[in-house]
């Protein structure tokens, strides 16, 4: 990972035998620097420039973290809340069995996608999205996951509707039995 962070002073000078304080430019808002990544940045500008006052300059509008470097960490971290979700939905016993199976099957999708992505990178030199047969196979697992979840929820809705209809039919039958003959 290349970084575009570099100190905003040109040369450091020794102010004493034990001090390594930098020599700051006299008009920092007029000065620009060629950063290591090839970009030119205005240093300590009045508007939209790099914020000074810490050890390293920080540009709040252009962070130096790219999405390709942070995505794997976010992906790995997102598994913990999902496993917590699976634990609590299983513990509650309120989800239909097929829907619960679908939520667990999503882990199979994740488990198959990671090796497929590695295989695509090693053997084809590109990402999984660019290798159609691998990407299609991985996405078919996601499609199965969605089908399991929807079919389980549909089954639960049908059972709830049938129970409601049978209850209302039973109530109507009781009311008709209790009705006095005319």
When mean pLDDT is compared across 32-41, 125-134, 141-150, the lowest value belongs to: 32-41
CB of 44 closer than 8 Å to CB of 38: no
CB of 134 closer than 8 Å to CB of 127: no
Q: Greater confidence, 131 or 39? A: 131
Query: What is the distance between the alpha carbons of residues 156 and 162, in angstroms, rounded to a whole number?
Result: 10
| Residue showing tokens 């090839």 | 38
Q: What is the pLDDT of residue 97?
A: 94
Q: What is the pLDDT of residue 109?
A: 92
User: What is the DSSP track for 39-67?
Assistant: -EEESS-SSSSPBPSSSS-B-TTS-S--H
Q: What is the pLDDT of residue 104?
A: 96
The DSSP call for residue 35 is -
CA 113, distance to chain mean position in Å, is 15
Convert the pLDDT of each residue in 3-22 to its tens digit. Answer: 444 444 444 444 444 444 45
- pLDDT class of 100 with cuts at 50, 70, 90: very high
Convert the pLDDT of each residue in 85-97 to its tens digit. Answer: 999 999 999 999 9
Neighbours of 40 (CB within 10 A): 8
Residues 6+ apart with CB under 8 A from 20: 12, 14
- pLDDT class of 175 with cuts at 50, 70, 90: low
């Amino acid at each position: 990972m290349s970084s575009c962070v570099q100190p905003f002073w040109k040369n450091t000078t020794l102010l004493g035998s034990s001090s390594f304080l930098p020599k700051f430019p006299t008009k920092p808002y007029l000065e620009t620097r060629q950063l290591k990544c090839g970009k030119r940045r205005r240093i300590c500008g009045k508007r939209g420039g790099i914020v000074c006052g810490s050890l390293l300059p920080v540009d709040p509008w252009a962070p130096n973290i790219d999405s390709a470097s942070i995505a794997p960490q976010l992906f790995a971290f997102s598994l913990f809340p999902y496993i917590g979700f699976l634990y609590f939905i299983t513990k509650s016993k309120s989800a239909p069995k097929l829907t619960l199976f679908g939520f667990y099957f999503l882990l199979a999708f994740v488990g198959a996608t990671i090796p497929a992505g590695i295989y695509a990178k090693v053997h084809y030199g590109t990402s999984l999205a660019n290798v159609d047969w691998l990407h299609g196979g991985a996405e078919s697992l996601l499609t199965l996951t969605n089908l399991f979840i929807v079919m389980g929820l549909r089954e639960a809705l049908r059972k709830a509707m049938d129970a409601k209809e049978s209850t209302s039919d039973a109530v109507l039958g009781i009311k008709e039995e209790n009705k006095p003959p005319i």
